[in-house]
Amino acid sequence: MTSVLRFAMTNAWTYRRADRDDIVELASWRGAGSLGLRPHFHDEHQLVLVLSGSRSFRIDGETITVPAGHAALIPAGMLHAPMPTPDEETVCLNAYVPASRACSSLRVVSFRARWQRVDEISPERILEIAGDILSRAPSPSTGRTGRSKLGAALTESLAPIGAVAASLGRSREGFSRMVRRELGVAPHAFRLLARLNLARQLQRAGEPIAAVAADAGFSDQSHLTRLFRRTFGTTPGVYWRD
């Protein structure tokens, strides 16, 4: 029997678990327009399904718009900034799926369905759309692989930025320029975004917010909450509340 998704539809992002291993989490939005948020990335592929209105993202200096009736897949690790959209009603479902299949570029496709509500969309249909987009995606380029290694160098070490730069045979200034060019943000900003993604993982695992803040390297819970809201459009307390 095909299952459906249940959401409380409010003028804010509402996150829910999918209770499946092949969908990490789901988020729904229904309201006037949609939020503009800070540039960020995810550790998972993000599938954006727009039922009405539109969503727009700033990616690599370009504005990408996803109109109603279309889906976009934003690859794991791709820096993107959701942009505010006009005040027409927007209904959107985000599905975050494991990055088990490599993808290096954003793609927008029509999903050829006339859903009115996100709870009409089954997990099976979400995975079918994601799989279809991923099957059309080109293999990751050498440049994308290099960017992944650069990101790993920044996040897998707690050493100061200067020390990471030195380990790669670069000056701090030269390393910072390379990171900005390849990853789109300064080294410190990239590390901060990685810590925010870690905070999401820890919350999904059931850690209390205060423990999440400490374990993810934030000075306190209010520091995490402020940055989390600016980046993901909701607070940690609302994000993973059952």
pLDDT at 127: 95
pLDDT at 190: 96
Unique residue bearing structure tokens 């690790």: 77
pLDDT at 189: 96
| Secondary structure class of 187 (helix, strand, coil) | helix
Q: CA 14 to CA 117: how far, in whole Å?
A: 14
The two tokens of residue 94 are 């985000």
Segment 145-160, tens digit of pLDDT: 567 788 888 988 889 9
CATH T-level fold of 142-239: Arc Repressor Mutant, subunit A (1.10.10)
Share of the chain above pLDDT 70, in %: 91
In the predicted model, is pLDDT for residue 21 greater than 70? yes
pLDDT band at 102 (very low <50, low <70, confident <90, very high): confident
Segment 74-93, tens digit of pLDDT: 999 999 999 998 878 899 99
How many other CB atoms are found less than 10 A from the CB of residue 199? 25
Q: What is the pTM of this model?
A: 0.88
pLDDT at 1: 40
pLDDT at 4: 47
Q: What is the mean pLDDT of residues 10-28?
A: 88
Segment 160-206, tens digit of pLDDT: 999 999 999 999 999 999 999 999 999 999 999 999 999 999 999 99
Domain ranges of the chain: 14-136, 142-239
Segment 54-66, tens digit of pLDDT: 999 999 899 999 9
CATH number of the 14-136 domain? 2.60.120.10
